[in-house]
């Protein structure tokens, strides 16, 4: 069965990285494939509840298959580990405020071999409301992921299929979303605009095309 095989590979990846990068400290987690525009993945704290008498609460990590296209298995799995860091932080009694990526998150990311960067570039801001990352060459994640994929052999096998193009075409938006890296205030303006937050007195950052979504409200 295609479904069982694809989800089994992701579950094996979760177990592998839990063992090699997190000393098997992470609890069981439901992994889903879920399309959500503008994000490669996200973490929801205890969003599933068992239907039996135990009423056990289980967290969710979701990966967006629309963003598998043109990305390697290693890059896709780095998003899985990014979200595992969110899960680690929540279960380590050091969670930060909802939606924020703090120094604890940044240090754990670097420990497992992923460099947090608000804009995905070398030297990018390591903390803030929105955060992506890049893979540290020859770091822990890079090495353990290579070993996992060598063992898995067939890797991840499915991307999202291309959308059917509207024959009338769709005009590309002339506006971009800008976010304050400190307080999360948003503004929309032309792509080339240079904006600043009036409260924090810092430059607003144009949202990258692809972002890993912040922690969801556990009570939401």
Alpha-helix runs per DSSP H in the chain = 2-21, 73-91, 103-112, 140-152
Q: What is the mean pLDDT of residues 4-26?
A: 94
Does pLDDT of 101 surpass 70? yes
Helix, strand, coil percent values for the chain (each to nearest 5): 30, 20, 50
- pLDDT score of 214: 42
Whole-angstrom CA distances from 210 to 64, 67, 79, 130, 194 are 11, 8, 11, 10, 20
Total length of the chain: 220
Does pLDDT of 209 surpass 60? no
Does pLDDT of 74 surpass 60? yes
- pLDDT score of 32: 94
Does pLDDT of 143 surpass 50? yes
Question: pTM for the whole thing?
Answer: 0.73
CATH superfamily of 2-165: Metalloproteases ("zincins"), catalytic domain (3.30.2010.10)
Least confident segment among 95-99, 118-122, 212-216: 212-216
175, β-bridge pairs? 190
At residue 38 the predicted structure's pLDDT band, cuts being 50, 70 and 90, is: confident
Q: What is the pLDDT of residues 158-194, one digit of tens each?
A: 777 766 554 445 444 556 777 888 888 888 776 667 7
- pLDDT score of 193: 74
- pLDDT score of 220: 32
Listed residue (140, 148, 144) closest to 12, CA to CA: 148
| % pLDDT > 70, the chain | 84
**CA 21, CA 71: separation in Å to the nearest integer?**
22
Does pLDDT of 52 surpass 90? yes
- Report how far Cα 111 is from the mean position of its chain's Cα atoms: 17
Does pLDDT of 44 surpass 70? yes
At residue 216 the predicted structure's pLDDT band, cuts being 50, 70 and 90, is: very low
**CA 85, CA 141: separation in Å to the nearest integer?**
12
- For the chain, give the mean pLDDT: 83
- pLDDT score of 172: 47
Greater confidence, 174 or 28?
A: 28
- pLDDT score of 160: 75
């Amino acid at each position: 069965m295609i479904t069982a095989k694809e989800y089994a590979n992701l579950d094996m990846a979760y177990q592998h990285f839990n063992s090699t990068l997190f000393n098997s400290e992470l609890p069981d987690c439901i992994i889903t494939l879920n399309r959500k525009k503008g994000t490669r993945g996200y973490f929801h704290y205890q969003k599933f509840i068992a239907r039996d008498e135990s009423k056990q609460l289980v967290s969710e990590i979701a990966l967006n298959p629309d963003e598998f296209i043109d990305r390697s298995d290693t890059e896709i799995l780095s998003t899985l580990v990014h979200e595992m860091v969110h899960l680690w932080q929540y279960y380590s009694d050091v969670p930060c405020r909802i939606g924020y990526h703090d120094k604890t998150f940044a240090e754990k990311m670097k420990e497992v071999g992923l460099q947090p960067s608000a804009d995905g570039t070398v030297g990018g801001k390591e903390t803030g409301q929105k955060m992506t990352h890049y893979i540290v060459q020859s770091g822990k994640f890079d090495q353990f992921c290579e070993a996992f994929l060598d063992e898995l052999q067939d890797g991840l096998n499915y991307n999202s299929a291309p959308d059917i193009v509207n024959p009338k075409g769709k005009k590309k938006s002339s506006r971009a979303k800008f976010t304050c890296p400190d307080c999360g205030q948003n503004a929309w303006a032309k792509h080339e605009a240079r904006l600043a937050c009036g409260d924090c007195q810092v430059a607003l950052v144009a949202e990258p095309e692809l972002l890993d979504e912040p922690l969801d409200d556990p009570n939401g």
